[in-house]
C-alpha cells in the first residue's frame, strides 16, 4: 500500500514513505507462507518505488510490452482514496452481520444447553441413553449444517454486493483527461 501526497488540485507525483505490511510471527505453515507473500509484495512495491524515483529517461520504448512494463511501475501513484461514506457503510454492515451471527450462536447454545440439561434430569434406562445422545448429536449436526449454509449464503451475497460496489466505484474513477500522461 502506498499513500500519495494530495494537494487541492489533485494527486502529487511524489510518493510518501512506502507503508510496509509487517508479517506476523510464524505460528504454522499457512502463516509462514502468508509472511513470505507479504515480504514479496513489500519487496515488489519497494522496487517499483525505487524505479519510479530513478526512471530511465534516455532509452526509448522498444515495443508496447516494453512500454507497459516500464510504465506499470507508476501504479504506486494512483491509489484511489476510500470515501468515508463507503467505510461507514462497510463498518455498519460488518456490525450488523456480527450482531446477527452472535445472536444465532447464543440461540443455538441456549437451545442445546436446555436439551442437554433436560436429558440429564430425565431418568433414562442405561441402554437407551446412548441412542438418545446419538439422536441429539445427529440433530445438532443437521442444525449446524443448516446454519452454516445460511452463513455461506450471506457471505456470498455480501461478497457479490461488495464486488458490485467496487465495480461501480471503479467505473466512477476515470483517468485524468488533461493529465500529465496524455
Cα separations in angstroms, 152 against 43, 93, 145, 160: 35, 16, 10, 12
List CB contacts of 10: < 8 A, sequence separation 6 or more: 176
Q: Which of the two residues, 133 and 138, has the higher pLDDT score?
A: 138
| pLDDT score for 173 | 65
- Closest Cα to residue 21, out of 47, 52, 46? 46
pLDDT digits (tens, 9 = 90+) for 45-91: 888 888 788 888 888 989 999 888 888 877 767 666 677 888 888 88
What CA–CA distance (Å, rounded) separates 90 from 140? Answer: 33
pLDDT digits (tens, 9 = 90+) for 117-131: 777 777 665 555 566
Amino acid at each position: 500500500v502506498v499513500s500519495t501526497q494530495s494537494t487541492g488540485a489533485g494527486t502529487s507525483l511524489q510518493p510518501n514513505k512506502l507503508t510496509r505490511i509487517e508479517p506476523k510471527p510464524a505460528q504454522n505453515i499457512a502463516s509462514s507462507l502468508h509472511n513470505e507473500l507479504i515480504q514479496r509484495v513489500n519487496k515488489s512495491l519497494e522496487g517499483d518505488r525505487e524505479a519510479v524515483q530513478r526512471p530511465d529517461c534516455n532509452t526509448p520504448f522498444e515495443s508496447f510490452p516494453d512500454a507497459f512494463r516500464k510504465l506499470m511501475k507508476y501504479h504506486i501513484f494512483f491509489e484511489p482514496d476510500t470515501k468515508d461514506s463507503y467505510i461507514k457503510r462497510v463498518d455498519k454492515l460488518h456490525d450488523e452481520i456480527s450482531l446477527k451471527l452472535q445472536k444465532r450462536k447464543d440461540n443455538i447454545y441456549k437451545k442445546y444447553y436446555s436439551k442437554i440439561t433436560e436429558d440429564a434430569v430425565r431418568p433414562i434406562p442405561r441402554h437407551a441413553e446412548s441412542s438418545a445422545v446419538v439422536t441429539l448429536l445427529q440433530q445438532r449436526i443437521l442444525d449446524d449444517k443448516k446454519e452454516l449454509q445460511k452463513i455461506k449464503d450471506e457471505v456470498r451475497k455480501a461478497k457479490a454486493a461488495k464486488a458490485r460496489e467496487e465495480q461501480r466505484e471503479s467505473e466512477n474513477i476515470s483517468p485524468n483527461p488533461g493529465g500529465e500522461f496524455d
